[in-house]
């Protein structure tokens, strides 16, 4: 548990956990969520998850069938496609969520509007606000918190251990001179964006042993040829969805800026959208996969000469 360090609280939790161990999965009394509030959760048979990473984590903990509804961004998570009926997580409907009969709502800091969240709580439904993770540590913390909350600590520990192990493996693959990686976020029609600091893509690149070629600016910036050439990337990273929306590899290499990159030394790497940017339970897996793809001798490095 990574809430505020407090032995008495840990003890209480442990005691409750032991007492309840024999009972069907219900949860460990009170936790402190991201808003620094004590939340007492009594049952979690019908969970509402807002945020793809949260949804994915709950499914990974083996409790996917307890999810009654999720937000629209969870549509891409296997196992939650048909349940993602709540719309955009920043604009949820209080009555809609209450009508699902939920007994626990798991949200992130980004969820809203505030009035709707207040109304859900005033209907007596516990609302747990989780941190929106942008670092590996935060993700691990969240998985552990959810494990405690949903009384699935064994599973959560396993997941955390697996992530740590994968991250270690990825770290070991890190070359002496890290690869300069430029992540492009594309939604078609040529309006691509480059990931700077404080983005999930940036975090993933670092975890995979690379270095962000476009460091120095926070957040995403619109793609400009000058910036691309100044960045001098060794690798251009895209999601599979992004690649498709730019018209495949031919489309990418004909984009101004990218077209001028020295093809012999620059590679194009793609990864699944949710895997790369989810920052959920598969973070370790994603980092390792990316690290492997970044290896100079990796067969995955698709360059134009291999078309």
Cβ at position 212, least distance to other proteins in Å: 16
Cβ at position 181, least distance to other proteins in Å: 20
Cβ at position 97, least distance to other proteins in Å: 6
- Scan residues 152-181 and list those touching other proteins (CB under 8 A): none
Give the binding-site size for other proteins (rule: CB under 8 A).
35
Q: Of 56-64, 117-125, 166-174, 206-214, which segment contacts other proteins by CB under 8 A?
A: 117-125
116 belongs to the binding site for other proteins (CB under 8 A): yes
Cβ at position 92, least distance to other proteins in Å: 8
Rg (CA), the chain: 21
Helices within the chain (DSSP H only): 7-21, 52-58, 94-99, 114-122, 136-149, 153-172, 200-207, 225-231, 240-245, 248-253, 273-277, 283-294
10 belongs to the binding site for other proteins (CB under 8 A): no
CA separation for the pair 160, 165 (Å, rounded): 9
Angle, nearest 10°, between helix axes 200-207 and 283-294?
60
Cβ at position 124, least distance to other proteins in Å: 7
Taking each continuous run of H as one helix and of E as one strand, the counts in the chain are 12, 12
Nearer to other proteins, 221 or 265 (CB): 221
Residue 80-109 contact track with other proteins, rule CB under 8 A, x = bound: -----xxxx-xxxxxxxxxxx--------x
- Please state the φ and ψ torsions of residue 184, each to the nearest 5 degrees: -110, 130
Query: CA nearest 38: which of 153, 154, 149, 155?
Result: 149
Binding region for other proteins (CB under 8 A): 35, 69, 72, 85-88, 90-100, 109-110, 112-116, 118-119, 122-125, 185, 219-220, 222
């Amino acid at each position: 548990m990574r809430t505020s360090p407090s032995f008495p609280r840990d003890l209480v939790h442990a005691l409750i956990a032991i007492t309840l161990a024999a009972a069907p999965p219900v949860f460990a009394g009170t936790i402190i969520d991201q808003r620094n509030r004590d939340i007492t959760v009594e049952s979690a048979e019908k969970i509402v998850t807002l945020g793809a990473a949260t949804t994915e984590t709950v499914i990974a903990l083996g409790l996917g069938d307890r999810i009654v509804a999720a937000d629209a961004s969870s549509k891409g998570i296997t196992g939650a496609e048909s349940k993602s009926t709540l719309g955009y997580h920043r604009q949820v409907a209080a009555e809609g969520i209450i009508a699902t009969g939920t007994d626990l709502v798991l949200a992130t800091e980004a969820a809203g509007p505030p009035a709707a969240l207040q109304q859900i709580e005033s209907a007596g439904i516990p609302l747990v606000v989780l941190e929106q993770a942008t670092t590996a540590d935060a993700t691990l913390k969240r998985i552990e918190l959810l494990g405690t909350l949903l009384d699935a600590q064994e599973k959560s520990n396993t997941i955390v251990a697996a992530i740590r192990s994968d991250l270690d493996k990825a770290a070991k693959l890190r070359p002496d001179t890290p690869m300069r990686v430029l992540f492009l976020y594309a939604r078609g029609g040529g309006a691509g964006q480059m990931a700077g600091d404080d983005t999930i893509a940036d975090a993933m690149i670092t975890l995979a042993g690379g270095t962000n070629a476009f460091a120095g600016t926070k957040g995403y910036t619109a793609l400009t040829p000058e910036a691309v050439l100044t960045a001098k990337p060794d690798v251009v990273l895209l999601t599979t969805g992004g690649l498709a929306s730019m018209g495949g590899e031919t489309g990418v290499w004909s984009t101004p800026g990218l077209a001028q990159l020295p093809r012999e030394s620059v590679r194009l790497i793609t990864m699944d959208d949710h895997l790369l940017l989810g920052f959920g339970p598969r973070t370790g897996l994603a980092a390792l996969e990316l690290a492997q793809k970044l290896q100079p001798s990796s067969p995955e490095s698709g360059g134009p000469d291999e078309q």
